[in-house]
């Protein structure tokens, strides 16, 4: 009788994913997708912020060119002139792509302002809206001239406007004398326009600011809120 030794049966190696491996793969893909979305959004915000900064820089140059051509005076706001002569319209000859420069790319009301003839940028009323008494006489120094501003490097001229500001050209200046609280500040400007949350009172983002010397700076909302909470009006020119 021939004896044949038994050989153990070799099971084929399992193919495909186990349930655990599949779950791990799904989690990894989800994490990568989330990170990708975060990075893409960050890049978009930075690009919008850079364009906004460029817009404000061009507006700063235009304001000073206007002053050179008009007896050393900045243009007026809708507070003192008709809408067709308000500051953004007055700067049209000095701005290249007028419609692009007057609108912040991150403004959620951009199309509305574009159609209404308004702007995403708003001027400091301490500089552009003279204070008058009951008889209409100017009170204090008139600062709507570059030469009259004592410390141009520390004086703010323009801000990115709040979503609450109307879209038309008549909404072109702040009421910064009322900025005694953070809510007062946020009623006029958008300190968290870039990288901030949807809450208009949030201080977790940043925004761009035009100074009287033509410099544009990105400032964290938290920095401005801290100053405001300590009783400092960030729009008030030094020494005023």
pLDDT at 189: 98
Rounded to the nearest integer, the mean pLDDT of the chain is 87
Q: Other C-beta atoms within 10 Å of 6: how many?
A: 5
Q: What pLDDT, in 10s, does the model give residues 27-76? A: 666 655 565 655 556 788 899 999 999 999 999 999 999 999 999 999 99
Measured CA to CA in angstroms, residue 78 lies from 104, 147, 154, 204 at distances of 20, 22, 25, 32
Domain limits of the chain?
A: 22-229
**DSSP 3-state of 57:** helix
- pTM, two decimals, is 0.81
Q: What pLDDT, in 10s, does the model give residues 136-183? A: 666 666 788 999 998 999 999 999 999 999 999 999 999 999 999 999
User: Rounded mean pLDDT of 109-134?
Assistant: 90
Q: Other C-beta atoms within 10 Å of 110: how many?
A: 15
Least trusted range by pLDDT, from 82-91, 114-123, 128-137, 185-194: 128-137
Q: Exposed, middle or buried: residue 148 (CB in 10 Å: 0-12, 13-18, 19+)?
A: middle
Least trusted range by pLDDT, from 127-131, 157-161, 214-218: 127-131
- 127 within 8 A of 237, measured Cβ to Cβ: yes
Q: Which of 97-111, 119-133, 192-206: highest mean pLDDT?
A: 97-111
């Amino acid at each position: 009788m021939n004896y044949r030794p038994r050989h153990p049966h070799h099971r084929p190696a399992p193919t495909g994913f186990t349930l655990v491996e599949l779950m791990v793969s799904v989690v990894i893909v989800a994490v990568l997708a989330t990170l990708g979305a975060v990075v893409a959004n960050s890049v978009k915000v930075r690009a919008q912020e850079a364009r906004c900064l460029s817009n404000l820089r061009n507006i700063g140059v235009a304001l000073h060119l206007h002053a050179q051509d008009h007896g050393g005076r900045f243009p007026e706001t809708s507070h003192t002139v008709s809408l067709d002569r308000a500051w953004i319209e007055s700067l049209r000859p000095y701005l290249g792509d007028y419609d692009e420069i007057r609108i912040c790319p991150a403004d959620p009301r951009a199309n509305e302002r574009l159609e209404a003839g308004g702007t995403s940028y708003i001027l400091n009323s301490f500089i552009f809206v003279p204070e008058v008494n009951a008889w209409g006489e100017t009170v204090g120094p008139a600062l709507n001239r570059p030469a009259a501003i004592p410390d141009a490097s520390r004086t703010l001229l323009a801000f990115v406007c709040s979503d609450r500001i109307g879209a038309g050209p008549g909404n072109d200046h702040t009421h910064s004398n009322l900025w005694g609280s953070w809510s007062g500040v946020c009623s006029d400007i958008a300190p968290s326009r870039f990288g901030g949350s949807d809450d208009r009172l949030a201080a977790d983002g940043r925004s761009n600011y035009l100074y009287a010397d033509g410099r544009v700076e990105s400032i964290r909302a938290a920095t401005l809120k801290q100053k405001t909470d300590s009783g400092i009006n960030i729009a008030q020119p030094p020494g005023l």
